[in-house]
Amino acid sequence: MTELPEGVQPTFDLTSGAKLDAVSTRDLGCELLARLKTPSPTSYHESAQTHLTMLLALRDAIEPLLETVHNRFSTKLLAAQFDLVLHAWRTHGLPLAGATHLEIGSGALNPFARMFTHIMAGVRRAWCLEPDPLRDVTNAVRTLARLAADALIDPASIFGALPIDSATVLANLAGFDLARLRRGDDSGADRSRLDFLPRSVTDTGLPDGSVDVVISNSVMEHVPDVDAALQELARVTRRGGFALHGIDVADHRIHHDASLHPLEFLTVQSSKPIVWYSNRLRLCEFETRFAQHGFRVLDRWLDNKVTVPVSLRQRLCDPWSAMTDEQLEMTWAVYLLRLD
């Protein structure tokens, strides 16, 4: 292969002679992945630098697309989640340094990332509770190494206006072996500080009053027995401790069928605790239950307001048919709570 002058990259034509317009991006991606896993040594070595340059161009095109709040592995999502924690820390004294945090419903795909950011911010101990078995531990722990690199290079990229520098982030990572995490080796995580709990929110197994802050995102609407869950969370949370819950009370089918009204599942007559993936409790009902279990609402952020057309209201089942539009129209909230 002819050597190029130092610093000169090969160029390539982005057009293709093949007729690929009718081929989906998914199929193109699957074909590319298959070829990368079984490359042709002959064709590869004949134009090695061109192949590498193409791969670098693909990486440069893909990386910005991955930084979205819809990607559970993105720094942008974790930064958005931490922004709420930062607000609670500033305005209500939610504890970070030396505290114990618990995330319920951390997910089977990327269970450690959110609590790992809290560890880097100074939390002493963090638990990640998820009843489903982990799907890809190797990729999950590799994500932690990438997050650590982002936080060490630019703490504000994750922590926003939190007054923390790279040296403090590094000190907060004591006990973690970032090289092992980068290789996908979960032994690089300090289990005495960050650990996985394969348990239910109604039976965490944690000691009484052992948690300073409970975190969840789009979890409470999926819990069949919310009272049992809140009773358990009140047990493990210390008096004066906090909770930060993001709750989505819309019909989750809208994520796959945009033609459905976000309250359509309230027209289904059923005595089952879960209907279309949700317990169907309204935000006002969650607030009542919070109070019943000793949690006081310190702050709340409401979003995703919907209209309740007459045609839908006429089909609503009890108890929602007796509720006002104001009680029904908000379908998303983040609650900051304190246990009195």
User: Are 286 and 243 a contacting pair, CB within 8 Å?
Assistant: no
Residues 311 and 162 in one domain: yes
According to the model, what pLDDT value does residue 68 have?
64
The residue among 40, 66, 92 that closes a domain is 66
Residues 57 and 98 in one domain: no
Query: Nearest-5° angle of CA 337, CA 299, CA 222?
Result: 55
Could you give the number of structural domains in the chain?
A: 2
Query: Cβ atoms within 10 A of the Cβ of 209, count?
Result: 15
Structural domain for 320, as ranges: 75-339
According to the model, what pLDDT value does residue 76 have?
84
Residues 145 and 215 in one domain: yes
Residues 1 and 92 in one domain: no
Residues 257 and 334 in one domain: yes
Residues 110 and 240 in one domain: yes
Residues 135 and 33 in one domain: no
- The CB-side HSE value for 64 (13 A sphere, CA atoms) comes to 4
CA 53 → CA 9, 18, 58, 162, 165, distances in Å?
A: 7, 20, 9, 38, 35
According to the model, what pLDDT value does residue 1 have?
40
Residues 240 and 140 in one domain: yes
Query: Cβ atoms within 10 A of the Cβ of 244, count?
Result: 23
Residues 27 and 84 in one domain: no
Q: Per residue of the chain (340 residues), what is the pLDDT tens digit?
A: 445 455 555 555 555 556 777 888 888 888 878 877 776 665 555 566 667 677 777 777 767 666 666 666 678 889 999 999 999 999 999 999 999 999 999 999 899 999 999 999 999 999 999 999 999 999 999 999 999 999 999 999 999 999 999 999 999 999 999 999 999 999 999 999 999 999 999 999 999 999 999 999 999 999 999 999 999 999 999 999 999 999 999 999 999 999 999 999 999 999 999 999 999 999 999 999 999 999 999 999 999 999 999 999 999 999 999 999 999 999 999 999 999 9
According to the model, what pLDDT value does residue 22 have?
82
According to the model, what pLDDT value does residue 9 have?
52
**H or E, element range at 75:** helix 75-92
Residues 146 and 278 in one domain: yes
Residues 262 and 214 in one domain: yes
The residue among 15, 42, 66 that closes a domain is 66
Q: Is the peptide bond before 319 cis (omega within 30 degrees of 0)?
A: yes
Residues 52 and 90 in one domain: no
The residue among 66, 84, 114 that closes a domain is 66
Lay out the sheet containing 100-104: strands in order across. 194-197, 125-129, 100-104, 211-217, 237-248, 330-339, 295-305
Comparing CA positions, the residue from 11, 17, 14, 16 lying closest to residue 47 is 11
CATH number (domain holding residue 127): 3.40.50.150
- Looking at the DSSP bridge assignments, the partners of residue 101 are 126, 213
